[in-house]
Structure formats: structure tokens, C-alpha cells
Structure 1
Amino acid sequence: MNTPHTHHAAEPHPAAGPRTVSWTEDDGEHTARWRSESGAPPPARLVVADDRLPADTAYRLVCEGTGLLWRGDFHGARNLLQALARRVDRGPRRRRRTPPAAPAAGAAGDPRQAFHLHRKAQAERARKLGMLLVPLDAGYVIPLRRAPEVRAACTAAYGPGDAPSVVSLRELTGLIGAYEWQRNGVAVPALGGDRVHPRYGVFSPVRGEYVDLVAEAPLPAGTDTAFDIGTGTGVLAAVLARRGVRRVVATDQDPRALACARENLDRLVPGDRVEVVAADLYPAAEAGRAHLVVCNPPWLPGRPSSPVEYAVYDPGSRMLLGFLDGLAERLAPGGEGWLIISDLAERLGLRSRDELLGAFDRAGLAVAGRHDTRPRHPRAFDPADPLHTARAAEVTSLWRLTPRRVR
């Protein structure tokens, strides 16, 4: 049995600068920048590995928290990652006479508990699979046999290269996939099939049902100004402009989203009808009031486990509540706020319908109408998905909100 041939502790540098990872190789000490868009810390221990490493040994090491810095064939690393994934998904082998473990208390029939167990399993899976690492030189070239060209994908995600670095193969694979989405784009039926090109780290409009809701709901009478709060790729701002809204202000606070939205909107909506501005929720008061304010916040209340999860999880429902609380004072007379949100959180026991309606009431808002649609994404029809029951029943809604009249 072959085992890794070097071993050394890896220690992150202080938070004042980029984190690093260190190891011993060829009787020398080596250090490189640690890259992790998920915010994962560098492994506490690091060994150098290649194609001679058996998958069972690799699995034991990653379960112990040991990172594997790959020096073999790149395709061998991909094969090992797949082998590790099979072992992670299979779980630990049990002795033949050991009875299966009982389900966690409260898990059976409890969607909230099932959701939290699912997230815990996802995080553990990501941790273990993130232990297989590949090197990048200062120009984002992978110094391994049969390695793919990744310079453009890494530059799109990380910016210009400046020093050698180490990244998990799992993250690198995600970067490559994201760059293909950015290059090829996503066709949006509500835009006549024109494509939106999402950047790495910006939520992609692959779930088109929420876009269709914005494309089909009746505009408030006289709408000539709209705000798109948390614009992301800019897809909803583009839909509103294509529907004839003369002025759209699209906001976001994420630099990647702002750059992505500007790029898409410059191409999809020629002229100056859409302004993209950096803002935490609403634009500055100088932007005035709008006849329509649209917001598609993250649909699940909860704490993201990594920066890229902020498109899915809204800690403390901050964005949802911030949008609602500021809406009445930013609407022009006769205007409406459109909240696009799924009821998946309700079906998972993370938020009740009464809590959502109570938030409307506290913000001084009344429901003028609601438009519903069913999801069309594959997981809604996959019985093997741990959350299939909730996903299969999920409804996405566009809530039409207006300031409540004071009697």
C-alpha cells in the first residue's frame, strides 16, 4: 500500500493578510496562498499525494482533516475526487452484525429537522471533498500533467493572479463550470430568448418561473419609474425595461453583482433607461420614489455557511424585512411593491405564513393581489432529493403590496 510521502502542519497567517498554507516537500518548506471562495479554512495538516494513493487511504486522511496536495495526473485527481464522493455519500462502513443507527430524534416527519440534518450533511460533505487540493502558479496555470486551461476562469473569479496558490479541486471545478455559464449565458424566455450572463458568485436565473411572474403581472397604472432591489444579474431590471418602464434603478451591494448587472444591461437594454447603483437595499433618497419596487430576496431564513450562500439564505430575514420596512415611504402614490418569494421556507418549518403576513402588517402594507407559479427545476421532480416532499409542493409567489390606508 502506498501512502503520501511528506507531511507537515498547515497554518493560516493572521487575518490581516491573505491566508497561506505550508507543507514539506523534497526536504524543503513551501508556502502558497490559500484560496477558498467558500471561506473554508486551510487544512490543519497537509500531505503531498499522487496517483499511487489508494482511494481508501485518501478517504481516511480527509476524514481525519488532512489535506491532499496533488502532484499526479490531473485526470487522476478528478477520478479520486469522484471516488471520495462515492465514499462520503455511502457513509462509514458498518460491521456486518452492527444494527443500523436509529433516525435522529424528531427527523421522521419533521421537515425542519430534516432540513437541518440535510444542511449538516451537505457541510460535512463539502468539508471532506474540499480536502483534495491542486496547485496554481502565479499566472493561474495548473502545473500538473493533462491539466486544463483555467486562467480565464480563475481570473474571472479571483481577479489577476499575483502569487502561487492552492485551491480545492472541488472549488476549481465549480469555477470552471461557472465560467462556462458566464461565457454561454442563460436563455431567458421573458427576454425573448436573449441570454443573461451570470458571473461567478452571482445567482443565475436558471429558475425562470420567478422571472416569468415579473414579466406577466400587470404593471401599476402610470408606471414610469421602478426600483429593482438586489438586482444580481440585472435580469428583472431588463424585463421591466423591456416592458416599457422608462426609468429603472437597479441596486446591489455586491461588487460582482454590480459589474455583472452593468454588463448584462448594457447589452440587453441599450440607452440609459437602467441605472445600476451600489446600495444596501434602496437607492439614495435623491432617486426619489418609484411607481413599482421589485425585490427577489433569498428565499430561506438562515445563516449562510459560506459567502456564496448569501443568494439562498437571508440571515434573520434581514433583506426581506428591510425591503418591507422601507417600501411604503419609497412608493409613489398608487404604486406597488412586488415581493417575489417561494413558500419553501414555510414547507420546511423555517417561517410560517402568519409570520410573513405579520411582517407585511408591521410595515404598514396591504396585499393587493398575488400571482403564483410552480417550480420547474429538476429537484422538484426528484424523489431521491432529501427535501423532495417540500420541493414538490413548493409555490413561488409574486405578492403585490401597497401602503395600508389609515382610517
Structure 2
Amino acid sequence: MTSPASITWPEADGPRTARWRSEAAVPPPKRVIVADDRTTADSAYRLACEGTALLWNGDFQNARQLLQAVTRRLERKPRKQGATPLEAFNLHRQTQSQRARTLGMILIPLDAAYVIPLRRAPDVQQACIETYGPPTNEASVVSLRELLGLIGAHEWRKKGVEIPALGDRIHPYYGVFSPVRGEYVDLVARTALPSLNKAFDIGTGTGVLSALLAKRGVKKIVATDQDPRALACARENIARLGYEQQVEVVQADLFPEGRAPLVVCNPPWLPARPASPIEYAVYDPESRMLLGFLNGLTAHLSPGGEGWLILSDFAEHLGLRSRDWLLAAIDEAGLTVIGREDIRPRHPKSTDETDPLHAARVAEATSLWRLKARA
């Protein structure tokens, strides 16, 4: 087992070391200084851009204000414009990566019980336990940006996300893709079911599609995922909604054992390399999950059964994948398309003309591809 990463910084009585926490798998900064309420935004911005991290030792709310001030300075920088959608996408990812790296340079200490030892600090113990697990009796350091993400995720987990098609809420965990974009849920809600006997939900995440299939009357659903956090999240949501008798959540690489008359999969939509483990919900490097689903589908469909592939064409508009490539992959997997349901995006970015990827977003559609094994 790999030892946790550590971070070291100078103090008046000698260097200190603590555990480094990063859910994004960011390595600990090599250069760290102690900062406090006297540190100016201009100084913090310059140091962060140079790769020097600032371990905060002042008022917590002032640290939040400092992060906001550094964010504003980053946003003033002119954006490079891509000549093509693909170039715009690559530049956007590069900008986002640089932005995350810079904003991640403001650090916050946590004591062994996940208490922030700073003035006016919020209670983050439960948020930390939900993400990091029980306290390990060691002090640690985390970026303020990640910590605020933990706090936000904790609130989402408590409040839940309203799913109109479900008539209820889904409570996402930190690091599990939240169904805030409901288009794919609506597609599953309105497409005619080929059978009510059994279904597989591949890569279940929060369990939202399994819950929806259960609500629609499917008698037995097997939901799979590889990520332990997603599995725990799905199980909790299924139990809260009262579908435990219909839905079984199992750990599997794509398919469970056996066959079903309906197999549903909503893989990550963009065939690009994720920058962190959390991004695997959005990025599918080399289309591995998509191809794994297509190539394994025939062996897991009951005779005459349907596979439902739910996929945005956003990647096509960015130039990351073509429609011809997708149709060829379906054909090479021994599958045939028997129908398709489309839906337009409703999320705010689809109407934001300042978004560098606006041209691709405004053209985007999400489709439910109904697939059958070729006779």
C-alpha cells in the first residue's frame, strides 16, 4: 500500500510536515510559505502563478476573499481563441488546467479531527468524513478550492437534486457525477421499454437510471459500477427511494453476469484524457467504456433484447469523434440501430455566448440509441 503524500513548509521553529490531501491526485506543492491576513491579493496571485503555495494562518473568511480576488485576476487575462472547435476545446482545457493549478495554491490546515484551526472557520468535519473517511489522527493540508468543493458537495448530498421524471430527489456523493443535466434521464423516462422483466444499468453512478427503471415497473435491475464511492452512493439512493427489492447494486467492470432484455449505459461523453480521477465521469480516454459497452453488449442481451446507449454528440461538434466512427463501431460490434430518441440541452451553458465552446454547445443533442444484436 502506497504511503499518503506529505507536504512540508517552514516555520520559525523549524520545518513542519503534514499529510497532503488531494482528491484530484494533484501532487503536493514543492514550494510553500505561510501566509496570513497581511498577504495582499497581488502578492498571492504572483506567488501562485510562479508555483509557490500559500499555507493560510489567518482568518478563514479572509482566505476565501483572497481566493476570490485571485480568481478575478485570472479572469482578466485574455483568452486565446481557437481557429477550430477542436483547437478551442484544447485551449479551453489548457486554460482550465492552469486555472485549477493556480487557484489550488491557497492551502488550509486541518487538524487530526478535521477541524480547521483558524478564526471564523466553518465546521467541515462531516464534509471531510464523507470524502476522506474517518479521521486518521494526523494533521493534514488541503487546497482551499478543494475544501470548498467538499463543502458544496456535502450540501448537495444533504439537499439532493430534484429529478422531475422520478418525482423525487437523488443525493450525489462527492466525486460521483451528479444528474444536474436531466436530458439523459428524460430520454430513459419516455422511451418505450422492451420488457419489464429485467434490466442492466451499466456504470450506474448515483443510481438515478436504475431508480427510474424501477419506478417504471421493471421487476429486476442489476446496477454496476467500478468506483466504491459510486456504489455506496447508488445503494443509499436506491434504499432511500424504497427500490431495494427491485435493484441490486454490484461492483463490476461494465457488465454483470448473465443476460437481460434491456441493457442501459450512459458512458462519459468526451473521448479525451481526464486530468484527475474525478474527471472520469466526463472523459472516456480512447472511448474505452463506450467501446467496451458496444463490444460486450451482444453477449449480455437476451434474444430480441435492446441495448440503450445514451450519448451526447458534443464530441462530434468538437471534432473529437465523428458520427461515421460511432456508426462503424456499432456495426463492428455486431449491432444494428433500430431507433433513436433525441433531446436538446437545457443547461445554462447551452445559451452562454461567452463560453469558448458555445458553437459546439448550441449544436449539441443527446441521443438514446436503441440497439439490437444483428441476426
Task: Please state which band the TM-score falls in when normalised by the shorter chain.
Answer: over 0.9
The answer to whether the 8 Å contact 1:297/1:320 transfers is yes
Count of aligned pairs: 374
Letter of the 2:209 partner, please give it: L
* Partner deviation per Cα, 1:221-247 (whole Å, 9 max, x = no partner): x43110000000000001111111110
In 2, distance between residues paired with 1:236 and 1:71?
45
In 1, distance between residues paired with 2:181 and 2:153?
16
Find 1:140's aligned residue among 114, 137, 140: 114
Q: Give how far 1:209 is off.
A: 1.1
Find 2:275's aligned residue among 305, 321, 346: 305
Matching of residue 331 in structure 1 with residue 301 in structure 2 = yes
Matching of residue 198 in structure 1 with residue 172 in structure 2 = yes
In 2, distance between residues paired with 1:373 and 1:120?
30
Q: Give how far 1:89 is off.
A: 1.6
Q: Give how far 1:165 is off.
A: 0.3
Q: Give how far 1:161 is off.
A: 1.4
Find 1:168's aligned residue among 119, 123, 143: 143
Q: Give how far 1:388 is off.
A: 0.8
SS in 1 for 2:346: coil
In 2, distance between residues paired with 1:236 and 1:168?
34
Q: Give how far 1:271 is off.
A: 4.2
The answer to whether the 8 Å contact 2:200/2:260 transfers is yes
1:401 equivalent in structure 2: 371
Find 1:211's aligned residue among 182, 185, 188: 185
The answer to whether the 8 Å contact 1:241/1:269 transfers is no
Q: Which moved more, 1:268-277 or 1:349-358?
A: 268-277
Identical aligned residues as a percent: 68
* Partner deviation per Cα, 1:53-99 (whole Å, 9 max, x = no partner): 1111111111110010000101110010011111112128xxxxxxx
SS in 1 for 2:179: coil
TM-score by length of 2: 0.98
1:53 equivalent in structure 2: 39
SS in 2 for 1:262: helix
2:159 equivalent in structure 1: 184
Letter of the 1:223 partner, please give it: L
The answer to whether the 8 Å contact 2:181/2:347 transfers is yes
What does residue range 313-324 of structure 1 map to in structure 2 within 5 Å? 313-324=283-294
Matching of residue 261 in structure 1 with residue 234 in structure 2 = yes
1:8 equivalent in structure 2: none
What does residue range 23-38 of structure 1 map to in structure 2 within 5 Å? 23-38=9-24
The answer to whether the 8 Å contact 1:229/1:251 transfers is yes
What does residue range 3-402 of structure 1 map to in structure 2 within 5 Å? 16-91=2-77, 107-108=82-83, 110-162=84-136, 163-192=138-167, 194-220=168-194, 222-284=195-257, 288-402=258-372
In 1, distance between residues paired with 2:38 and 2:266?
49
In 2, distance between residues paired with 1:401 and 1:24?
60
In 2, distance between residues paired with 1:236 and 1:161?
33
In 2, distance between residues paired with 1:153 and 1:386?
33
Letter of the 1:33 partner, please give it: R
SS in 2 for 1:301: coil
The answer to whether the 8 Å contact 1:66/1:131 transfers is yes
Q: Give how far 1:263 is off.
A: 0.4
The answer to whether the 8 Å contact 1:302/1:313 transfers is yes
SS in 1 for 2:109: strand
In 1, distance between residues paired with 2:2 and 2:235?
31
Letter of the 2:59 partner, please give it: D
Letter of the 2:363 partner, please give it: A
CA RMSD of aligned residues (A): 1.2
Letter of the 1:281 partner, please give it: L
In 2, distance between residues paired with 1:71 and 1:308?
29
Residues 271 and 116 (structure 1), Cα distance of their counterparts in 2 relative to 1, 3 Å cut = closer
In 1, distance between residues paired with 2:243 and 2:342?
31
Q: Give how far 1:270 is off.
A: 3.5
Q: Give how far 1:269 is off.
A: 3.4
Residues 169 and 271 (structure 1), Cα distance of their counterparts in 2 relative to 1, 3 Å cut = closer
Q: Give how far 1:26 is off.
A: 2.3
The answer to whether the 8 Å contact 2:214/2:243 transfers is no
In 2, distance between residues paired with 1:270 and 1:299?
28
SS in 2 for 1:25: coil
SS in 1 for 2:65: helix
Unaligned stretches of 5+ residues in structure 1: 1-14, 93-100
In 1, distance between residues paired with 2:215 and 2:261?
16
TM-score by length of 1: 0.90
SS in 1 for 2:254: coil
* Partner deviation per Cα, 1:161-218 (whole Å, 9 max, x = no partner): 11100000000000000010000001111112x1100001100011111101001100
Letter of the 2:352 partner, please give it: D
